[in-house]
Structure 1
Amino acid sequence: MLSLRQIRYFIAIAETGSVSAAAQAVHISQSTLTTAIKQLEDSLGAVLFSRHAKGMELTHQGHQFLRQAHLILASVDNARRSLQQSTDDVEGELNIGVTSLVAGYYLADLLARFQKIYHKVKLRVIEDERDYIEHLLVSGEIDVGVMILSNLEYRSALNTEVLTYSHYRLWLPPEHELLELDSIGLNELSDQPLIMLNVDEMEERIRHCWAGSGVRPQVSMRSASVEAVRSLVSAGMGLALMPDMTYRPWSVEGDRVEARRILDISETLDIGLAWRRGGARNPLIDYFLPVARESLPARQAAMG
């Protein structure tokens, strides 16, 4: 049977990358921690860590369980707070960094939810490019980032947690010839004009989806605006490969936009949280993380 203690120990190792550092963080012996993790793996029937000379690294199953482990502790912590502490007692300032694409689709809901619960906390939000937000996180100038995690440069200096995965889909205008196909692959796009989204390093991510396919995208236009891409596609000016989180079936002009999965693309755009690893941190982060864990996946599910 799983215990909350085992889950906390598991998260400690996942965040520190080593048994010794995790044991210090949770104030137990290394042998006790190792035994607890072995019991957890046996109970789950899964290998959560790969062990090597430099420490412990999450396996694919470990990454999957980490998401659930955070949700479990968030639910328990929220239940405890609701019984033990009035949110009126929580005050201070929380500095949040966000990248522009994430800001447009997640930030308002998340901040509104947090502010409704912790209305005495002052929120300060900085929106900028991923590399600058990362710099501010590592230097301690902001407390937590809500951002695309796929391109992080200083991952070893940050704790990260993926909250939702956004698949890529092909946007097409109504009655496009490709809509008649049962399935669409990248080969079918070799002679199609493409409109490229080039905000938040999206062009790099989208081009990465094409890598190894042998097909070279025929980019006819670029735009930093999702709405511009949507309008151009609906007007028949080209197709676009876009993350699912940005999809809406109608342009601002009221024209229809269709979306289809591409067989060759299994990659996802990973959206989540990042905060500095080690050292003192703003205690308000511990109130923000559970709210974020509960709100972002729900929003993504609602978008289908």
Structure 2
Amino acid sequence: MSLSLRQIRYFVAVAEHGSVSATAHAISISQSAITEKIQDLEADLGFRLFERHSRGVELTLKGHQFLRHARKILTDLQDARRALRGEIVEGGGVLSLGVTPLVAGYVLPDLVTGFSGAFPETAIDTVEESGQQLEHLLVGGELDVAVMVLPVNMIAPALHTELVQVSPYRVWLPLGHRETRKVRVSLKDLADTPHVLLTVDQVAQNIEAAWRELGIRPTVALRTSSVEAVRGLVATGGHVAIMPDLTYRPWSLDGDKVEARMIEEQLPPMEVAVAWRHGFPLSPTATGFVATATTRNSTRRR
């Protein structure tokens, strides 16, 4: 049996809605018909696309990987139809993109390079704001897509989100600190050392939540929105910091060394995702950006 566009469309729709029943309601097709097409598609591909559970379905690893290809197939078909009708010019236009602060400094350059390589004629208009403000701009239609750090347990029914990068937290230590002898460092063993807290993209809130759970209250020497200020204070000795790994660089601006160690306790990692307005189809340009951005990570978050 060969793949059909109907199978691919149903698969993408179920992946977007998170359940067969919600998909059936949205596109006015019976659940049995959708389930049959998905099962036929899985049989043809030779692997499972979804894990079924009581709350709906969840993409498998192979399902995540195939989703990108499926979206590209549908986008390419739509672009071909429009191009043959003379409705679009390949690769033109402007992409309105929002980013949060850490994304702007540590994720955006790679994303822009990858996207511009695939869409060299498309200009990118970028705005940096907090995650909350970006959500307002997306819902208001002022942005095509945004790349943002997701708050822990974020609930944003107005948005679709798809993971771009997952970054665990690590402890930053000055060269020669007693804890650098360890492979993993307990946050409890750093309770007597002054900390520097980064105040952007929920970092400080996440760290303070971890402290409360552990029953510790370290001294906070400085709260700052500058990653380089954190790096500099740690490197010169006397301070430590808990930072997402995507921000780590081993040297301060003055050339002093910063060590990083894994954390013994379990902290939720930082998740960076591309987001767009729920219920509104992406333009071909925005679809292309999502496709290039999500190649950084094969795991999708709804």
TM-score (norm 2): 0.81
When residues 169 and 126 of structure 1 are mapped into structure 2, their CA distance, relative to the original with a 3 A threshold, is same
The question of whether the paired residues in 2 share the 8 Å contact of 1:7 and 1:69 is answered with no
RMSD: 3.5
Aligned equivalents of 2:260, 2:207: Cα separation in 1: 16
When residues 143 and 75 of structure 1 are mapped into structure 2, their CA distance, relative to the original with a 3 A threshold, is closer
TM-superposed deviation, 1:21: 4.7
Q: Is 1:70 the counterpart of 2:67 in the alignment?
A: yes
What does residue 231 of structure 1 align with? 232
CA distances 1:70-110 after superposition (whole Å, capped 9, x unpaired): 344467679999x998x972222211111111110111221
- Which range moves more in the overlay, 71-80 or 110-119? 71-80
1:220 is matched by which residue type in structure 2? Answer: A
Aligned equivalents of 2:284, 2:166: Cα separation in 1: 27
When residues 10 and 251 of structure 1 are mapped into structure 2, their CA distance, relative to the original with a 3 A threshold, is same
Aligned with 2:54 (options 18, 40, 51): 51
Aligned equivalents of 2:218, 2:39: Cα separation in 1: 48
When residues 199 and 259 of structure 1 are mapped into structure 2, their CA distance, relative to the original with a 3 A threshold, is same
What does residue 129 of structure 2 align with? 128
The question of whether the paired residues in 2 share the 8 Å contact of 1:131 and 1:153 is answered with no
TM-superposed deviation, 1:161: 0.3
TM-superposed deviation, 1:297: 4.5
What does residue 293 of structure 1 align with? 294
- Which range moves more in the overlay, 31-40 or 116-125? 31-40
- Which range moves more in the overlay, 120-129 or 9-18? 9-18
CA distances 1:200-232 after superposition (whole Å, capped 9, x unpaired): 222112223334222223212111100110010
Q: Is 1:218 the counterpart of 2:215 in the alignment?
A: no
Structure 1: gaps (5+ residues)? 299-304
> Identity of aligned pairs, percent?
38
What does residue 163 of structure 2 align with? 162
The question of whether the paired residues in 1 share the 8 Å contact of 2:197 and 2:242 is answered with yes
What does residue 179 of structure 1 align with? 180
TM-superposed deviation, 1:190: 1.6
When residues 106 and 47 of structure 1 are mapped into structure 2, their CA distance, relative to the original with a 3 A threshold, is closer
Aligned equivalents of 1:125, 1:179: Cα separation in 2: 39
The question of whether the paired residues in 1 share the 8 Å contact of 2:164 and 2:274 is answered with yes
Structure 2: gaps (5+ residues)? none
When residues 263 and 9 of structure 1 are mapped into structure 2, their CA distance, relative to the original with a 3 A threshold, is farther
When residues 143 and 193 of structure 1 are mapped into structure 2, their CA distance, relative to the original with a 3 A threshold, is same
TM-superposed deviation, 1:57: 5.5
Q: Is 1:146 the counterpart of 2:147 in the alignment?
A: yes
TM-superposed deviation, 1:2: 11
Aligned equivalents of 1:172, 1:77: Cα separation in 2: 49
Aligned equivalents of 1:135, 1:252: Cα separation in 2: 36
The question of whether the paired residues in 2 share the 8 Å contact of 1:167 and 1:244 is answered with yes
The question of whether the paired residues in 1 share the 8 Å contact of 2:151 and 2:202 is answered with no
What is the total number of aligned residue pairs between the two structures? 291
What does residue 285 of structure 2 align with? 284
TM-superposed deviation, 1:134: 0.7
1:254 is matched by which residue type in structure 2? Answer: G
- Which range moves more in the overlay, 8-17 or 124-133? 8-17
Aligned equivalents of 1:167, 1:95: Cα separation in 2: 29
Aligned equivalents of 2:48, 2:212: Cα separation in 1: 35
TM-superposed deviation, 1:197: 0.5
What does residue 262 of structure 2 align with? 261
TM-superposed deviation, 1:4: 8.0
SS, match of residue 155 in structure 1:
coil
Aligned equivalents of 1:3, 1:97: Cα separation in 2: 36
1:51 is matched by which residue type in structure 2? Answer: S
TM-score (norm 1): 0.81
SS, match of residue 89 in structure 1:
coil
SS, match of residue 288 in structure 1:
helix
SS, match of residue 255 in structure 1:
coil
What does residue 90 of structure 1 align with? 91
When residues 50 and 2 of structure 1 are mapped into structure 2, their CA distance, relative to the original with a 3 A threshold, is farther
What does residue 301 of structure 1 align with? none
What does residue 302 of structure 1 align with? none
Aligned equivalents of 1:274, 1:245: Cα separation in 2: 19
SS, match of residue 103 in structure 1:
helix
TM-superposed deviation, 1:281: 3.9
Aligned equivalents of 1:80, 1:257: Cα separation in 2: 50
1:89 is matched by which residue type in structure 2? Answer: E
Aligned equivalents of 1:182, 1:108: Cα separation in 2: 31
TM-superposed deviation, 1:124: 1.0
